[in-house]
Amino acid sequence: MSYVFFPGCSLDGTARDFHRSTLAVAARLGLDLPELRDWTCCGSTAAHGSDALLADALPAKNLAAAEGKTVAVACASCYGRLKAANHHIARDPAVRARVAEVVGGDYDGRTPVMHLLEILSRDIGRARIAAAIRRPLAGLKVACYYGCLLVRPPEITRFDDAENPTLMDQLMEVAGATPVDWPHKTECCGASFSVTDADVVLELSNRILSMARAAGVDCIVTACPLCQLNLDMRQKDIEARFGTRYDLPVFYFTQLLGLAMGCTAGELSLASLVVAPGALLASKGIGRAEASR
């Protein structure tokens, strides 16, 4: 199957580490991810909170440009947005007509959209990933955190089991890590309230961190730039607000997969994580070879 990659604004900005590690992992797997030409913002947050038409038209413009290829997405928010637009356009001829009018071309809402987790699990498959593993993440207990945007609304995203997704857990298992079954896989972290009402984020993200700690993990693994940002960048604030200490590194799943595949810390931008993972990785003997090089 051939894909075009839609990085979206976050992977171009705050989540460059996600971007880099995605491409590093893709390279190791021989997965070709050419970037969608002339892509624009998907309309996440701003457009979809203010203008229904724009919220469908922006994704439509990008999806139409994919020319029928599968659009690969890493950002959970973009993923949800593109899927929602497809859903609306394919089901409602009126929406389709209005979108055609503003975008300047008819789009049928049928360009396939897949999240990276889906591509890795379904198209690439465990066997191929297993073959690319060089340094299994033995002894690393991880909490796979999917957040809400990948799985909701389930009738639109149709991503895995909406209440108990396991795609990321399976990948982490292949990578040699030990994923725990914990109950906050799909809790909300507060998402873009980070911008407008940070208190909400502190409260909600604190629940996730405290549950992860209760589950006894070494770190959290995410698949969404917003989740990663809230849990990682806000962790200090949360610790201060609630008078506790977590010190839980928050990785993108691509970073951990990359480590297991033998990528260097530089290739995976590990240095840009706010809660530094060095001590943890060193204690587990992960990535030591790279460090010594």
Partner 1 sequence: MSAKTNGVQHAVIAKADGGEHAPEAVGAVLVCGAGITGIQASLDLAESGFRVYLLDSSPAIGGRMAGLDKTFPTGDCAMCIISPKLVECARNKNIQIITLADVQGISGEPGNFRVKIRQHPRYVDIAKCNACGDCSEACPVQIPSEFDRRLGKRKAIFKPYPQAIPNVFGISKAAGRAPCRASCPAGVNAQGYVALTAAGKFKEAYALIRERCPFPAACGRVCQHPCQEKCNRAEIDEAVSVRDLKRFVADYVHANPAEYPAAPAAAAKLDARVAVVGGGPAGLTTASDLARLGYGVTVFEAQPRLGGMLRYGIPRYRLPDDVLDKEIQYILDLGVEARTSTVVLNPKNLLRSGFKAVFVAPGAWASRKLGIPGEDAPGVRAGLDFLREVNGGERPASGTIGPRVVVIGGGDVAMDAARCARRLPGVTSVHLACLESRAEMPAHAWEAAEALEEGVVFHTSLGPTRIETAGGRVRAVAFRACTRVFDEGGKFNPRFDDSKTAVLEADTVIVTIGQGIEAAMLGVATGPGGRIVTDPETLATSIAGLFAGGDAVLGPASLVHAMAHGHQAAEAVDAYLRGTRPARAAASAQGGPPEELAPNPSPGAPRQDRIKMPQADPARRLRGFAEIDLGYTAEQAIAEAKRCLACGQCSECMQCVKVCSAGAIRHDQQPTEFELDAGSVILTPGFEEFQASLRGEFGHGRYANVLSSVQFERMLSAAGPTGGHVERPSDGGEVKKIAFIQCVGSRDAARGNNYCSSICCMSATKEAMVALEHSHGQAHGQKLEVSIFCMDVRAFGKEFDSYVNRARDEHGVKYIRAMPSRVVEMPGTKNPRVRYFAPGGAEQQEEFDLVVLSVGMRVPAGVKDLAQRLGVGLNEFGFARTDRLAPLATSRPGIYVAGAFQEPKDIPESVAQASAAAACAMDQLALARGTMIQRREYPWERDTSDESPRVGVFICHCGHNIASIIDVKRVAEDAGKMPHVCHAEASLYTCSDTNQQHIKDMIKEHRLNRLVVASCSPRTHEILFQETLRESGLNQYLFAMTNIRDQCSWVHKDDPVAATDKAVDLMAMAVARARHLKALETGRLPVTASALVIGGGLAGMTAALGIADQGFEVHLVEKEPALGGMLRNLHATLEGADVKAHLRELVDRVKSHPRINVYLSASPAGISGHVGNFKSVLSVAGREKPISHGVVIIATGGQERQTELHLHGTNPHVITQSKLEAALAGARLPAELAGKTDPTVVMIQCVGSRNDEHAYCSRVCCSEAVKNALEIKRRLPEANVVVLGRDIRTYGFRELFFEKARQAGVLFVRHPEKSDPVVVEAGGQLQVTVRDSSTNRDLELRPDLLVLSTGIAPADGNPVLSGQLRSALTADGFFLEAHPKLRPVDLSNEGEFLCGVAHSPRFIDETIAQAQAAVGRASSVLSKAYLEIPGQTARVKPELCVACATCVKTCPFGAPMINHLNKAEIQGAKCMGCGSCAAACPARTITLQHQEDQALVAMLDELLVGGAIDDRA
* 200 touches partner 1 by CB under 8 A: no
SS3 3: strand
Query: Do residues 267 and 22 make contact, with C-beta atoms less than 8 angstroms apart?
Result: no
d(Cα 53, Cα 85) in Å, to the nearest integer?
9
Residue 209: half-sphere exposure toward Cβ, Cα within 13 Å: 29
Q: Which of residues 166-185 bind partner 1 (CB under 8 A)?
A: 180-184
- Least separation, in Å, of the C-beta of 257 and partner 1? 20
Among 1, 97, 102, 214, binds partner 1 (CB under 8 A): 214
- In angstroms, what CA-CA distances link 90 with 60, 111, 206, 229? 11, 10, 39, 33
> Which residues, 6+ apart, have CB-to-CB distance to 124 below 8 Å?
29, 31
End-to-end CA distance of the chain: 36
Please, which residue, 12 or 181, has the CB nearer to partner 1?
Answer: 181
Q: Which of residues 99-128 bind partner 1 (CB under 8 A)?
A: none
Among 164, 282, 285, 289, binds partner 1 (CB under 8 A): 164
* 28 touches partner 1 by CB under 8 A: no
Q: Which stretch binds partner 1 (CB under 8 A): 91-99, 103-111, 210-218, 250-258?
A: 210-218
Q: Which stretch binds partner 1 (CB under 8 A): 23-31, 69-77, 158-166, 251-259?
A: 158-166
Structure tokens at 159: 């991503």
d(Cα 273, Cα 250) in Å, to the nearest integer?
8
- Least separation, in Å, of the C-beta of 131 and partner 1? 7
- Residue type (1 letter), 156: I
- In angstroms, what CA-CA distances link 183 with 46, 153, 212? 30, 19, 9
Outline where 66-197 has alpha helix (H): 76-91, 93-103, 116-118, 125-132, 154-157, 167-174, 193-196
Q: Which stretch binds partner 1 (CB under 8 A): 63-71, 88-96, 155-163, 284-292?
A: 155-163
Among 198, 215, 233, 265, binds partner 1 (CB under 8 A): 215
SS3 22: helix
Please, which residue, 208 or 231, has the CB nearer to partner 1?
Answer: 208
Query: Do residues 29 and 132 make contact, with C-beta atoms less than 8 angstroms apart?
Result: yes
Please, which residue, 22 or 186, has the CB nearer to partner 1?
Answer: 186
* 46 touches partner 1 by CB under 8 A: no
* 279 touches partner 1 by CB under 8 A: no
- Residue type (1 letter), 213: R
Among 51, 163, 197, 199, binds partner 1 (CB under 8 A): 163
Among 67, 106, 161, 199, binds partner 1 (CB under 8 A): 161
- Least separation, in Å, of the C-beta of 151 and partner 1? 10
Binding residues (CB under 8 A) for partner 1: these are: 131, 161-164, 180-184, 211, 214-216
